[in-house]
Amino acid sequence: MSESPPTTPVCYRHPDRETYLRCSRCDRPICPDCMREAAVGHQCPDCVAEGRRSVRPARTAFGGGETGRHGYVTKVLIALNVAVMLLSIASDRGGDAAIGGSGFGGLLGGSTPLTNWGAVLGLAVFPDGTVGGVAAGEWYRVVTAMFLHYGVPHLLLNMWGLWVLGRTLEAALGPLRFLALYLIAGLGGNVAVYLFSPPNVPSAGASTAIFGLFAAIFVIMRRLGRDTSAIIPILVINLIFTFTVPNISVAGHLGGLVVGGLMALVLAYAPRGRRTLFQAAGGAILLVALLGAVLVRTPMLTG
């Protein structure tokens, strides 16, 4: 009785394809289309997927994901600010928003219907007799103001700062922690405007968040044991501009600086064993404190 001739192996995913290749992990036959590069030899798609599930994702020193190195959040924030600037220009009918307007050297620019709607404003009576501002219930202004700008030069200056600082901080903190830092710092600066600036003077710009990033990069670099000597002169120069250039919100810049620094301390010095919980609780406490400050200020303006 003659023996049956040996059969040629076929790919386990494509039974119609003969192959002599095998997965170096499970030894199943695989065709060239199913081969995946591995540290040793080639693996099948199933083994590659299993290996990814069993490998713990890499984390930064502060608990963030490695995807922060791509700077996705920084890029999205810049794109969002640019998009809002285009909407602001489109809302302006014959004004000076696009070219910078009548601000200091054209830096601050003119207002538009969109900036009038979304800038931080304590309380004011508009030309049509209506009353508006945070104290009048328009709480959204303390958030929307950080995405609005008075003219293109104002936008470009802030976006340059976001591009330079944001990518470094996002890589160190990870996307979610960086986004939380940015938003809380911007909110802190806008709340400071509400607390300490004249209630009928509007204020807008991403600089509240940018100053928070200045404070944060100093804290983060110190926590990592890196040299911060190059950061201090830039911060000092920005503070000099804050106090000497007309029409710049001193309260907004200093408020963003302080709140951003506090949030950075929470992120940088959270105990490793309970890091995420500590960071989330610290951010929540800052948010509650800012909310409380708005609640305390409002009766002072409306009473």
Q: Which residues are catalytic?
A: 207, 253
* Helix, strand, coil content of the chain in percent (nearest 5): 60, 5, 35
Is 28 exposed, middle or buried (CB count within 10 Å of its CB: 0-12, 13-18, 19+)?
Answer: middle
**Side-chain-side CA neighbours of residue 80 (13 Å):** 14
Of the CA atoms within 13 Å of residue 176, those in its CB half-sphere come to 11
CA angle (98 as vertex; 213, 85 as ends), nearest 5: 45
Residue 186 DSSP SS3: helix
Q: Do residues 147 and 81 lie in contact, with contact meaning Cβ atoms separated by under 8 Å?
A: yes
Tell me how far apart the alpha carbons of residues 167 and 78 are, in angstroms, rounded to a whole number. Answer: 11
Cα angle 231, 233, 238 (rounded to 5 degrees) comes to 95
What tokens were used for 285?
A: 């406490």
